[in-house]
Amino acid sequence: MAPQPGVYYGPDEPESTINFERYFIAGDFITGVGFGVQLVLWTTCVTYLWKETKKRGWKTMFLVGYLAVLLSVQFIYCIVQARTVQVMYVDNRNYPGGPWQYFLDTQYLAINVIFDATLFIQTFLCDLLVLWRCYVIWTVSGASMAITVVALPTILLVASFVVGTIWTLQSTHPNLSLYSKEPEAFGTAYYAVSLGLNIFLTTLILVRLLMHRRTILQHLPPEHAKHYLSLMTLIVESAALYSAFAIMFLVAYGLNQPINQIFLGFSQAAQQVATYLIIYRIANGTAWSREAIESRTLTTIQFDKMTSAGQAKQTDTSTVQLASELISRVELDHAKGETSE
């Protein structure tokens, strides 16, 4: 029998509930696409790192292990997400109140506990990596300065872990869910702390890189300095990609808007992608480290001191020749980075 024109065949549910069900499926699709992107980046990172195992030693193996854990958690999350959709929309489509109500009423089931736990674990792992990158970038100013800089972010990370654990436990109690009053309060607090941590770390990383950029620009023409501190470099090194989507999710989740399911899919995928991009730069040798910053900064400063103080008795011709050699060295260093990519 063909559908009758003007006859409503949809569920007898409030519009907000229907939107939650729509966006939940959309979020599942975004998660799947994001996992495909992550799988490609994971393979690339592990391939680069594996080639450098003998050269870099245990640090490389540690990163490979970290990537394995991160991909495993995400893989479990995707499986649970897909299974949850099947249980909601196929196995229990006639549940009173609809599939979304079934999801809210069954948060205590193992599948939903794993769903919440893996989401929390992968967020914590990514926050941990950004904290480490912030420390590494600031070590150029000395170990004591780096420790001082990351002291407050470390406290925020511990706080987010505690609040996130409480949120996960509260959300999986019988008769409670992610959108119950108390779990939602803890969830909002958790993502607020996690987002605040990411924004704070992003700012600290950007400040240190921009300080280095200013030093480079004082001694090299902009066309050469831009190789090291382009806009893309700043975005990748600071993991700013995740912060943008996390803000949208936090606002929508706090307001209990159905579209938060889409932003959740984007934010968790963006956080993983940002993490893989950072490790990719580490793997191919283009990531910022203490050695990289010091070698490039000292070269330009030493040249500037030699020419301004007149310590070396050089003619105008030799000065120009030295400047040309310096610029060629910088360009060669950049070319090596591009070749390794």
Cβ burial of 74 (10 Å; 0-12, 13-18, 19+) is: buried
**CA angle (183, 38, 58) in 5-degree steps:** 100
297 touches 304 (CB < 8 A): no
Most confident among 266-280, 295-309, 318-332 (mean pLDDT) = 266-280
Separation of alpha carbons 137 and 153, rounded Å: 14
Contacts of 197 (CB under 8 A, 6+ apart): 127, 131, 153, 156, 157, 160
Question: Residue 326's closest CA among 293, 291, 301?
Answer: 301
Query: In the numeric block, which tokens belong to residue 83?
Result: 């299974």
Contacts of 144 (CB under 8 A, 6+ apart): none
Separation of alpha carbons 80 and 78, rounded Å: 5
pLDDT of residue 287: 52
In the chain, what are the domains? 15-289 (1.20.1070)
Please determine, for residue 313, whether its predicted confidence score (pLDDT) is greater than 60: no
Please determine, for residue 308, whether its predicted confidence score (pLDDT) is greater than 80: no
pLDDT of residue 314: 45
**CA angle (103, 109, 112) in 5-degree steps:** 60
37 falls in which pLDDT band (50, 70, 90)? very high
Separation of alpha carbons 153 and 170, rounded Å: 25
Distance from CA of residue 45 to its chain's centroid? 15
pTM metric for this prediction: 0.74
Please, what is the average pLDDT of the chain? 76
**CA angle (224, 228, 231) in 5-degree steps:** 105
334 falls in which pLDDT band (50, 70, 90)? very low
